[in-house]
Amino acid sequence: MSLGPVLAHIDANRDGFVRRLIEYVRHPSISAQNIGIQEVSKLLVGMLKGLDLAAEVIPTHGHPMVFARWDGAPGKPTVLLYGHYDVQPPEPLEKWTSPPFEPTIRDGRIYARGVGDNKGQHFAQLMAIESHLAVHGRLPCNVVMLLEGEEEIGSPHCAEFVRANRDLLKADLVITADGPMHPSGVPIISFGVRGVAKFELRARTAKRDAHSGNFGNILPNAIWKLVHLLGTMKDATGTITIDGLHDNIVPPTDLDRAAVARLPLDLPALQEELGFTELDAPQDRGFYERLMFHPTLTINGFHGGYGGPGPKTVLPAEATVKCDIRLVEGQTPDDVLAKVAAHVRKHAPDVTFIPGGGMLPSRVPLDMPFAAKLREAVAVGQGAEPLIYPSLGGSLPDYVFTKILGTPAVQIPYANADEANHAPNENLTLDCFHKGIRTGAALLAHLGDGAT
Amino acid sequence: MSLGPVLAHIDANRDGFVRRLIEYVRHPSISAQNIGIQEVSKLLVGMLKGLDLAAEVIPTHGHPMVFARWDGAPGKPTVLLYGHYDVQPPEPLEKWTSPPFEPTIRDGRIYARGVGDNKGQHFAQLMAIESHLAVHGRLPCNVVMLLEGEEEIGSPHCAEFVRANRDLLKADLVITADGPMHPSGVPIISFGVRGVAKFELRARTAKRDAHSGNFGNILPNAIWKLVHLLGTMKDATGTITIDGLHDNIVPPTDLDRAAVARLPLDLPALQEELGFTELDAPQDRGFYERLMFHPTLTINGFHGGYGGPGPKTVLPAEATVKCDIRLVEGQTPDDVLAKVAAHVRKHAPDVTFIPGGGMLPSRVPLDMPFAAKLREAVAVGQGAEPLIYPSLGGSLPDYVFTKILGTPAVQIPYANADEANHAPNENLTLDCFHKGIRTGAALLAHLGDGAT
């Protein structure tokens, strides 16, 4: 089966695909606010059935999964295409140039909530499938499509669903098209993701706030309590000092290190874009090593006491800190949260530790089967050799495939680096969308060829 | 001049004085919101002229001073009675049982904004003056009355006013009736106040917040920056570790220590009331020593990053901390703020230090002239021997008298300990108000006798 005519079909239908994407992203599907989830899951099943795939909405204990299958290529590999049809809340609305659910094309980009994360990317996969079927009447390999409705709220039921549907999800490889390409526009194949573990710390030192003059030095201060506790968790050199947190970390392989050494970096451009002068402490590690091979301890928010204009001489009785820890291969949310809990019990037993959600990390070997075919396909689809990432810095629920099903999983992002996902004015360039469809088609073709 | 008939007059007119106080506190005079200031300053001048005092409104670069004088006792001491006619904002309104400017009597208390802090207390002085004049046609000593309109916003123009009006304010002693008595109901004479110095710390580590996965370990975190800076300012043992901050502190005298040793303390009751288990660190100092002889470093507020419900995996680019330092005798706001600034420059040069307002501390010797007469007068007026405080924990602008004019200044509070000043349901018991008028009358009488 030849890829050429399929790519030609994709090029010929470029504008029509854009129009259909715009129709799709017009529908809100905000998981955190439970808006439009049912409608969009049904809409997707309709689209998938329209392509002649067996498709259905499968309920979970949360928002439903959209599942589809094409298995007309016996003997060929099966690829599971994972994506998510839910989107982030669009707020703050006033910061959008055009309304988030009225998709608008400006300067070669479609602006709409979800157009990059993740609707435009899995819709590109759909159009790739459609194009193969239109040209050849069949696909080069077997396809399973799994589109989640809760990715933006941490995939709370994804693992449970995968455990309960092992047979349904049997595949040789999982590909997720999500996230951005490299800022230079070069494509990426990532063989892993960091995990994440979230928690809150709450201090309450008295029944009520008090006057800092009448009670200063008498009443303990909830903010100082958390400041000193946090100081025991990560020191001023940037070293995380929670006992046992680094236990079990799987170090990068020689292949991983070699891949990282080849990655380009334009640090001055990033510093200019984000307006920072110095990389975060500690300084004894490379840029990509920081993102791929080291856990973080990020304070997401710290709130206590007076925050209005001017001074207020108050002694605050309560304060809250929210944190997340990005996990690297070998760490688990359960173990890490247990270690944080033990640390808090030891250093500030009167502070309340509230564990939040978590997600395991995932990493597959860079020399896995299909690795070479993936590189070739991406090079054809995107017109540029992909960068090989041992891991992304962010978290996606790949572990459900790698750790629960034992299926290798990779990320092949289609979006532009400035897609502004999770932010106002989310966008996808028309070029990225088009190349995404071509890449999707090339991936199916190369994976199919690989097994002949 | 006999005090007995004056006290009898006060007792006989008890209900009438309450009615007149209610009429007074009905008028809002909220300095922070510039509400009612002009009206109430004029109302006061009218009242004072009605007592046959020479009274006037004197403009400042902020809200005006109300000034009055009675100098018909040549050869007798002159006492300056300081108070303030401005009140705190009444918000949150929904927490008031009766509206803040519709004074209401319930269970032996008048509830109204400002009734305790400070209108009820300086109005008691006025009624004491009126009663002396009604009975004897003259006062036992000379009186200067100074009522400020900016105390609740930190007395920003008080020092300037005092410097420019040294002759007008010439006196032998300053008495301020403000703040609460001891929780046991026993009266207090305080010979000092702590000062205060306020500042903000602002960290900005990037142009915008970022994704904690894509940028964790890359971008510095503004909250961590402030947490680590704060950790260098006060350690986990509670010791303030800002270089030079304790320089110049004047240690308590033997008299101060002896006075503190005599002060009663019901720590379990306070712990029960405020819901705390352990005094703030460090533990190597007594309860009153903490409030009178040691500076504080209170974090008034810490705000940065996400504070809404649930988690948000954000890496915050900005955070703000507000602090105040209560100063003890020998410290000055200028010197202390300079030392904090130097500390910040040394430990976190990229954090912005913003000095706020300040106020010098004040302390006069416990064996000052008039000390014995003040004790006798308070004992007569209140019917109980006063406790002798070397200092209050809070701050009042006494330094303008002690340090600019060289006039000794003391605090003699008339309000109940649960007056809820600065809070909803501010109140003054009818008993405290009545005893305040009696005490005001006794003070004038004893000071007058003392100079004969």
Given an 8 Å threshold on Cβ–Cβ distance, is A305 in contact with B301?
A: yes
Nearest Cβ partner for B393 among A213, A392, A393: A213
Q: Taking residues B432-440, what's their average pLDDT?
A: 98
Contact A123, A21 (CB under 8 A): yes
pLDDT of residue A131 exceeding 50, the answer is yes
Given an 8 Å threshold on Cβ–Cβ distance, is A291 in contact with B216?
A: yes
Tell me what pLDDT residue A326 has. 98
d(CA A121, CA A440): 9
Nearest Cβ partner for B313 among A196, A214, A232: A196
Nearest Cβ partner for B213 among A232, A278, A393: A393
Q: Token digits for A297? A: 């301890």
Q: Token digits for A352? A: 């309340």
- Counting residues of chain A whose pLDDT is more than 90, the rounded percentage is 95
Given an 8 Å threshold on Cβ–Cβ distance, is A303 in contact with B298?
A: no
Q: Pairing mode, if any, of strands B362-363 and B173-176?
A: unpaired
Q: Taking residues A346-361, what's their average pLDDT?
A: 96
ipTM over 0.85: yes
Q: B198 to chain A: which residues are within 8 Å by CB? A: 311, 313
d(CA B111, CA B117): 12
**Which chain A residue is nearest to residue B326, measuring alpha carbons?**
A213
Q: A301 to chain B: which residues are within 8 Å by CB? A: 223, 304-307, 312, 314, 316
Residue carrying structure tokens 């903000």: B200
Chain A, 160 to 199: residues with Cβ < 8 Å from chain B are 194, 196, 198
B278 at the A interface (CB within 8 A)?
Answer: yes
Tell me what pLDDT residue A228 has. 98
Given an 8 Å threshold on Cβ–Cβ distance, is B223 in contact with A301?
A: yes
Chain B, 405 to 434: residues with Cβ < 8 Å from chain A are 422
Contact A191, A426 (CB under 8 A): no
Q: A313 to chain B: which residues are within 8 Å by CB? A: 196, 198, 298, 300, 324
Q: Pairing mode, if any, of strands A192-193 and B173-176?
A: unpaired
Tell me what pLDDT residue B349 has. 97
d(CA B276, CA B267): 10
Nearest C-alpha neighbor of B176 from the set B407, B438, B437, B410: B410
**Dihedral sign for Cα atoms in the order B425, B429, B434, B435:** negative
pLDDT of residue A37 exceeding 90, the answer is yes
What are the structural domains of chain A?
A: 4-193+361-450 (3.40.630.10), 195-249+295-359 (3.30.70.360)
- pLDDT greater at residue A452 or residue B207: B207
Tell me what pLDDT residue A183 has. 86
Q: Taking residues B130-153, what's their average pLDDT?
A: 97
Tell me what pLDDT residue B449 has. 82
Tell me what pLDDT residue A359 has. 94
Residues B10-35: tens digit of each pLDDT? 999 999 999 999 999 999 999 999 99
Name the pLDDT band for A422 (thresholds 50, 70, 90): confident
Chain centre distance of CA B396: 4
d(CA A176, CA A195): 16
d(CA B101, CA B122): 18
Indicate the average pLDDT of chain A.
Answer: 96
Nearest Cβ partner for B290 among A208, A217, A313: A217
Tell me what pLDDT residue A64 has. 98
Q: Token digits for A406? A: 């034992």
Q: B152 to chain A: which residues are within 8 Å by CB? A: none
Tell me what pLDDT residue A24 has. 98
Q: From the DSSP assignment, how many helices (H) and strands (E) are in chain A?
A: 14, 19
Given an 8 Å threshold on Cβ–Cβ distance, is B298 in contact with A315?
A: yes
Count how many Cα atoms sit within 13 Å of the Cα of residue A434 in the half-sphere of its side chain: 19
Q: B34 to chain A: which residues are within 8 Å by CB? A: none
Question: Which are the contacts of A250, defined by CB distance < 8 A and separation ≥ 6?
Answer: A328, A329, A330, A363
pLDDT of residue B398 exceeding 70, the answer is yes
Q: Taking residues B205-216, what's their average pLDDT?
A: 94
Given an 8 Å threshold on Cβ–Cβ distance, is A227 in contact with B223?
A: no
Given an 8 Å threshold on Cβ–Cβ distance, is A324 in contact with B311?
A: yes
d(CA A111, CA A228): 44
Nearest C-alpha neighbor of B286 from the set B265, B305, B314: B265
pLDDT of residue B450 exceeding 70, the answer is no
Chain A, 202 to 241: residues with Cβ < 8 Å from chain B are 205-208, 210-221, 223-224, 227-228, 230-232, 234-236
For B299-315, give one letter per residue: b (16+ CB within 10 A) or e.
bbbbbbbbbeeebbbbb
- How many CB atoms are located within 10 Å of the residue A212 CB? 31
Q: Taking residues A9-13, what's their average pLDDT?
A: 98
Residues A280-316: tens digit of each pLDDT? 999 999 999 999 999 999 999 999 999 999 888 999 9
Residues B264-318: tens digit of each pLDDT? 999 999 999 999 999 999 999 999 999 999 999 999 999 999 999 988 899 999 9
Tell me what pLDDT residue B452 has. 35
**Which chain A residue is nearest to residue B282, measuring alpha carbons?**
A217
d(CA A355, CA A360): 15
Residues A326-341: tens digit of each pLDDT? 999 999 999 999 999 9
Residues A39-73: tens digit of each pLDDT? 999 999 999 999 999 999 999 999 999 999 999 99
- What is the least distance, in Å, from the CA of B339 to any CA of chain A? 19
Tell me what pLDDT residue B357 has. 87
Given an 8 Å threshold on Cβ–Cβ distance, is A303 in contact with B302?
A: yes
What is the torsion angle, in degrees rounded to the nearest 10, for the CA atoms of residue B331, residue B337, residue B342 and residue B343?
A: 80
What is the torsion angle, in degrees rounded to the nearest 10, for the CA atoms of residue A234, residue A240, residue A241 and residue A246?
A: 160
pLDDT of residue B422 exceeding 90, the answer is no
DSSP A151: G
d(CA A151, CA A421): 13
pLDDT of residue B216 exceeding 90, the answer is yes
Residues B94-120: tens digit of each pLDDT? 999 999 999 999 999 999 999 999 999
Count how many Cα atoms sit within 13 Å of the Cα of residue B226 in the half-sphere of its side chain: 31
- Taking CA A162 as the corner, what is the angle to CA A158 and CA A165, rounded to the nearest 5 degrees? 140
